[in-house]
Amino acid sequence: MAITERQTATLALAHALTAAERGLPVIPLSPTKLPALRSPHRDEPRPSLCRGECGLPGHGVHDATTDPTAVRALFAAAPWATGYGIACGRPPHRLIGIDLDTTSHTDSVAELRHLALRHLFTLPETVTVLTPSGGRHLWLTGPPDVVVPNSSGRLAPGIDVRGTGGYLVGPGSVTAHGAYRLAPGTAHLLPAPCPPALLRLIAPPARPRHAAHTGGHLPAGAAGAPSRTHQGQGLVQFVLAAQEGQRNTRLFWAACRAYEHGFGDALADALTDAAVRAGLPEREARATIASAARLTAGPHG
């Protein structure tokens, strides 16, 4: 191993230990930004559901730890690691990453500002990491009772969300495309709490406590529905029940579910009517449904 490679590996471990000391669970990453340790179950005939219960390393984000001894052991097992990942959604910070991509044809920073204006929230000053491609990661924290899923382009074009089960490449990491570094003026900051309006956009709407189990695909009112008609009725009722401040969010969520299940166009007028009855202007309602149609037509992360 060349001296520069040794230095890179040593620096990666040092940065990872600093992050762990701050309560951020870490794992070693390879230059490809993937977990550096391969799965111990890779040669088994059937896919393994193990998330580290076997006690061996190589389970990706499930290996993430803040224990300095365990961090050193992970890096010792992966001397080729040149960076580290920070697990999102884990206490105490329950990190949420807003990944603003610049490789697409969309201005993701402008998209986020548009969302902030549309949904009336202010982006707080927070830890910001600059990526080699010119993008940036905004670090936010979430409440203990909300699980934020990972998504790609679903919040808006060019914006990915890293939540529970995901990880962010930590500052100081070196990848095949360059280094990740803290944005000037943010090194002294702590991750800021996610604005409630933004949290409502990136987290699934909470179900009523007595709603039947639906496998996570339909809101209350559509639980256990045997047909598209019943599913559509549940989605319409879900929008009708929207309170001020959640109309757009509920409509967008319901429209996405309708298009994902193949009956979005058929339900569009009913969803529009429900949103208008809930207090949303018709033009805005139709624009929101059109956005849901565009987003669900592409790949999901």
My answer on whether 253 and 285 are in the same domain is: yes
Judgement on whether residues 200 and 242 belong to the same structural domain of the protein = no
**Any bridge partners for residue 129, and if so which?**
137, 182
Residue 273: CB atoms within 10 Å = 15
211, part of any domain: no
Do 22 and 40 lie in one domain? The reply is yes
Asked if residue 77 and residue 95 are part of one domain, the reply reads: no
- For residues 109 and 79, membership in a common domain is answered with no
* Last-in-domain residue among 50, 84, 118: 84
Helix (H, G, I), strand (E, B) or coil at 256: helix
> Is residue 141 a part of any domain in this protein?
yes
Q: What is the pLDDT of residue 78?
A: 96
Query: Checking DSSP bridges between strand 128-130 and strand 136-141, what pairing results, if any?
Result: antiparallel
Residue 232, both tokens: 């559509």
Element spanning 238, H or E? helix 228-240
Is position 217 within any domain? no
Domain co-membership, 249 together with 285 = yes
Domain boundary among 20, 55, 84: 84
* Distance, CA of 243 to CA of 252 (rounded, Å): 14
**Which tokens in the block code for residue 201?**
């956009």
C-beta separation of 170 from 84 below 8 A = yes
- DSSP string of 30-71, one letter each residue: -TTSSBSSPPTTTTSSS----SSTTS-S--GGGG-B--HHHH
In a domain, 45, yes or no: yes
Q: Where are the alpha helices (DSSP H) in 104-154?
A: 108-119
Shared-domain flag, residues 92 and 58: no
Cα–Cα distance between 182 and 19 in angstroms, integer? 13
Residue 132 lies in a domain: yes
The verdict on residue 5 lying in a domain is: yes
| Start-to-end CA span in the chain (Å) | 36
What's CA 74's distance to the chain center, in Å? 25
**Domain final position from 84, 108, 136:** 84
Q: Is 279 left (phi over 0), alpha (psi -120 to 50) or beta?
A: left
Domains identified in the chain, total number? 3
C-alpha of 41 from chain center: 27
Q: Is there a domain that residue 212 lies in?
A: no
CA distance 208 to 113: 31
Query: Looking at the DSSP assignment, which residues form a beta bridge with residue 83?
Result: 29
Pair 200, 236 in one domain: no
Helix axes 228-240, 247-260, angle to 10 degrees: 170
Could you tell me if residue 31 is inside a domain? Answer: yes
Q: Please state whether beta strands 136-141 and 192-193 pair in parallel, antiparallel, or not at all (unpaired).
A: parallel
CATH code (residue 100)? 3.30.2250
Which pLDDT value is given to residue 244? 75
Enumerate helices (H) and strands (E) in the chain, giving the number of each: 8, 12
Q: Do 24 and 102 fall into the same domain?
A: no
130 & 177 share domain: yes
Q: Which domain holds residue 285?
A: 228-297
Instruction: Please tell me the pTM assigned to this model.
Output: 0.68
Query: Do 92 and 200 reside in the same domain of the chain?
Result: yes
Chunked in runs of 10, what are the mean pLDDT values of the chain (301 residues)?
A: 70 96 97 94 83 90 96 96 96 95 78 89 95 95 92 88 95 95 94 94 64 38 45 84 80 83 88 92 88 64 34
Same structural domain, 14 and 61: yes
CA 86 to chain centre: 13
